[in-house]
Structure 1
Amino acid sequence: MQRKYSKWFVARYTTAVFLLSLLVILAILFIQALFFNIPFSFSGIIEIHKKQPIAYFIDFLPFLLAIASFLISRHVSELKTEAETFSEEELTHQRKLYRFVEKLKEGDINADFSPAETDILGKAIVNLRNTLKRSKEEEVSRREEDERRRWSAEGLALFGEILRSQKENIEELSYSIISNLVKYIGANQGGFYLLDDSDPGDKFFNLTACYAYERRKYADKRVNWGEGLVGACGLEKQTSVLTKIPDSYLNITSGLGKANPRNLILVPLIVNDEIHGVIEVASFNVFDKYTVEFIEKVAESIASTISSAKINLRTAKLLKESREQAEALQAQEEQMRQNMEELQATQEEAAHQAEKFISFNNSVNHTLIRAEYDVNGILQYANTKFLHKLEYSSNSEVEGKHISMFVNKKDRVWFDEIWDSLAKGGHHFEGDMKHVTKNGKDLWTIATYTCVRNIHGGVDKVLFLGIDTTDQKNQSLDYEGQIEALNRSSIKVEFAPTGDIVDINDKFHQVFGYNLTESKSKTVFDLFHPNDRKTIESIWDDVTHGIPFEGQLKNIIRSGEERWFRGTYTAVNDMYGEVTKIVFIGHDITREKLMEIETKEQTERLKIQEEMLRKNEVELNRKLREAKEDIKNQFKEIEKVKIRNEKTLEGFLDAIITTDQDGIVQFFNHAAEELFGVDKADVLGQSIRILFPPDATDKDEFLAAYLDPQKEAITGERREITITKNDGEEVNVLMLLTEAKIGRETTLTAFIQNISVDLF
């Protein structure tokens, strides 16, 4: 890379050397002319060259020296330029480093600085900054962790006391637990579900206590085992934390508004891997990890208490049931013997009927998904196609299972009504039906549920036949979802190739103000300002020829107001490649556009204000310097006056002592030293009490008020008192107190006159 140098410096130095060399040569020729006695003229110079041939070489010296000086000066200039550049860069680096260090001194540990690879000092300071930042973050984290431990320990102690004090009444215990838990963790609603497993075939959770918005709520709610969030939590035996719950889930409102909490936690009450209930708490705030852990610890304590109570009740119940079951078993044995005889008679008839259906069943099983359920919804038979489509490997996995196992929880509401009707012999169901596979996938079918009646006309079982339409249904739902999402979030308009509006969505109606009937009488060109028509016609021509447009355009809405939109105009072709319609999809960006314009204007105003502030800052700094100088001079003058006054008081014959509002000695003159027999250095800065005996305040109220800073001193009155000198001698004196207040500071000055000398 070519090195930089100063051309002016090189030219000046080279020219100077060249001219100096010419003068030296002329001087040499002049001396030679005098030496040979030759006239100093052009002919004389030629004569000198003839006598001294070396003069020809000397004639070239100016050019040689000029070349040499050019090379030397250029090298010197390059070195000088490099040195100046390095010096400036180093100075800039030092200034940046200084500003960085100043920010660190001010406590700004987030200050940024990027040292060079060779900057050892800069790297060390950056490392120091990082260390300080980590230390601060660790300290904050440690304090938060300590506070969480304390909060958790206090909460566990609170709920431990509740569990110990209210064991007898389970409803009151439930309410006390859930109400205190909701308040302690700062939630909004809570429910206490207790598992009723008295009937193993019909386990359910019963809502025993409910608390919401600082009030007790009375709700009678039953949740079947495995159903809903509560049932699923009990089935899975795991804590569930949800951050987005639908409005319909919570049916208790605050009465102050329609908003419901969006965060929900469900914690199972488990002890020894046995579930006893579920705690459900809802809050507007997200549940922190330590809050979840706290609720789980409380749940363990609750489960242990409930388990103890339930074990006692269960033991008594099992004893009673065992006696009843023994009696029932004996009756069932007799009934079974009779049933076996009847079954043998019907088996022959069943075999005959089975032969007729084998051929039909084989045909159905080959083409359709088939399953048979009893009236209670228990699966009795499933063909191979049913197992394959629902991803099961054998009949043992599905037979004996309830139909709810194959139906999504969200579809149970409407499907349960259909099933109840079928179980009672109602009309058959035919339509789209979504099942759930073993791996949780959706299986869409065109399904038929039909009642199979027995010889008495009653419902014997329910037959399910279906055809797999999952791929077609998923594609259809996906398209419908995309179109719905697009209509909710974007403006959509469909135009004919001529520009006439064919269809609009609700978003267009909301923004532009035209309904569908009014819109169909408009064209695309009516939505823009007449001045923009040529531009729109050009864009429209491109779009109708297969060139889509994407960008920002200014439209005119029904009210005449201008609005900015960002969107695309795209042509839709039919199967023959002909344009059937033009679709516009866009978003209203008027606010962003206006903000952009306003931002530019504000930027210009800020530049003007910044210049004014800079000028004001210069003027303010000048005034501050002048004010500081005036204050400094005033302090000097005050100090002179103070010294002069102290010297004046020092020469008084009476003892003078000055104390502040705390009773600390500030001034002690020479007469006071002689009167009390102590040195000034031992008294200044000490309490005034050291000059008087401890019992002095008991003898004289004047001294008591003077020596106690909390009491109001008696000023303006001369009092005769007795003082004790350092050597133990008692002296009678007259003492006068004066008070001076300057701002918030108060001083007391005692004038003490030795009257024992005067009396003598």
Structure 2
Amino acid sequence: MNISVFSKTSNSKTKELEERVTALEAQIIAASEFVKEIEKGNLTAEYKYNGESETDNALSTSLISLRNQLKNYAVEEKERNWVTEGLARFIDILRSKNNDMNELTDDIIRNLIKYLEANQGALYIINDHNPQDIFLEIKACYAFERKKYIDQRIEIGEGLAGQAVMEKETIYMTEIPGHYLRITSGLGEGSARNLLIVPLKLDDQVLGVLEIASFSLFKKYQIEFVERLGESIASTVKAVKINQRTNKLLQDTQAQTQQLREQEEEVRQNMEELSATQEEMKRVLTQAQEKESYLNELINVPKDSIFTIDKDYKIISYNRAFSAGIEAMTGKMDFKGFDFLSLFPDQNEKQKQKAMYARAFAGENFEDTNEYDTNGVKSYFTTNLAPIYGKEGEVTAVACFGKDVTALMSAQKQTEKLLNESRQKSEELMAQEEELRQNMEELSTTQEEMERILSEVKEKESYLTELINVPKDTIFTVDRDYKILSYNKSFSMALEAFTGNIDLKGFPFLDLFQTEADKQKQIALYERAFKGENFEITNEYDDNNGGMIYITTNLAPLHDKNNKIFAVASFGKDITKLIAAQKQSEKLLEESQLKSEELLSQEEELRQNMEELSATQEEMQRILEDVQQKERYLKELINVPKDSIFTVGKDYCLIDWNKAFAAGLEAVGIKDLAGFNLMNLFPDESVKQKQIDIYARAFKGENFEIVTEYSQDNNISFYASNYAPLRNDKGEINAVACFSKDVTELMAAKKNNKK
């Protein structure tokens, strides 16, 4: 009887254990399949196991929560990428088409409608040529009936577009009257259901209106994108208007000057030769200054620090990013001739720097990453050192390109820390549940893979953080306690002199203002944003150099998942150049009027100006020589253009080249370019002689362009090459520069037009 009871009990326990093992196996299989689906990118996968125990429910809830978080992050990332890509695309359009208002507005509305996948739209610009008659004028439209809308005029306050100008607010309608707007296509026509009207605002001034119609609803991030884009469009439109007015003033001045010259024929004849000489020198000087400005702007484009030093470790040249970083450390403004090694008071670090630059002066091009500790804050910089060669092939200087990789290194360390903590926790759980650990090895392996996916997601987040560091505008957010939540590099660089090189996260924003009145003013502004208002203000600041800086700031509330405002974002834009252009325009007008009065009243004063013009001519010659000297040096750093750029000596051997040209020769197996004879590229003697004749024209002083056709593997390509002579300090031609651009698509388009 006792044996029977024992047997039944054992069988019951065994069955219970078998059921538990079966349930665990089913749970592991379901979890593994679910995670594999997520790895494949299927964020809509369903978890196909419904357990009854608390452990089953906890695992199910965790896995589903992970999937939902990844799904939400994917959607948010897609929206952020969409906005970032759109802003970058339209910034290129605004920069490249800012000389012609009609071409600019046509490109904007056409690309905007396509990017939003809308159906039609129009761009209106404020016509204020007559201050007594200001109205909205259509400048560009897309998918409209051209005859009906091309001459459309809207009064301020008339219709929705006129109302948006008066109220300076975005209008979004999802119910439009049937007669208001119709969208037509080859398949028929229908009424638009959604209408978005966005005013183009700059410094609280409306310069125009964007009107976009679509069958589909506009999402919130799309509306915010159009509003942000509207600010950039307004800025460009205002700049174009200023340029047009300035050109008109210049044309009026030239007409008045010509009329006065006709009246003063005798004086004009005496000054004709000197005036012609001065105009030619002005043109040459302007071209030289434009080239210098262009080259300087090129090295100031990247956020990375760029500078060069000579063999005495004296700084030769540098870009803005470098000066901004060192200025906070030294308090100096001009670093030309500055002893670079003085930045390292520690002798060991100084010797380390000497050893690094010795490698570069020996001709080595390499990259190195170092850790720095500033006031207890660690930072990491990746430095690329490259030698710069003189005319004789000797290393005369070293160029340094420094990049801040602190965020990347911090992300890596954080990832390692999270991984170690996860492993430690996993070991503790395995020690407590040995039997469960043995049955869930496969799930543990899957968990490590999930950690890898999480690491990749964090890397993408780091990438998006880098994206907001691209614009030069300052961007930061503050919470209701006026503490900084996040910021971009432009903001931290702007405050570096005030706060030092510290982490600004959590920094009391109001501490940036010295007086209580300034603090209260800021509190009043941010309280408006915390109440839900999105607005823009412009402030004037002293730059401590006798000049003024004008900053336009846009404050916007940030909402959490419950639509409650938890922070305010600030976008600051420097519009000093725009204000300066306005003042310059006014100054030109005043000078023009003054000059006309002086020419009409005193003929004798023009004769006296001959001596001043002669003195000015000598000064311009001196400036010209200085600019040309800088231009020759800065050209060594230019690798930005995608066009091939190279120079050759009279022996047809390469003197200098950029990366685009080097990449082209490396593609055909030529890697050692130093002293390479270009004639070796042409085995055919007739082709070689043709190239020699081309260079002979340039060595005689001619500057010309030639379009050449090349055929390779049954593919025909065209390259437009511009040849220009290069002169030394004595004015002798000692080399020829060539700028080569691929114009295959342009030539194909011309051929199609001829057909």
TM-score (normalised: structure 2):
0.27
Q: What TM-score, normalized to structure 1? A: 0.27
Q: Which entry has the higher C-alpha Rg, 1 or 2?
A: 1
Highest relative contact order (Cα 8 Å, sep 6+), 1 or 2? Answer: 2
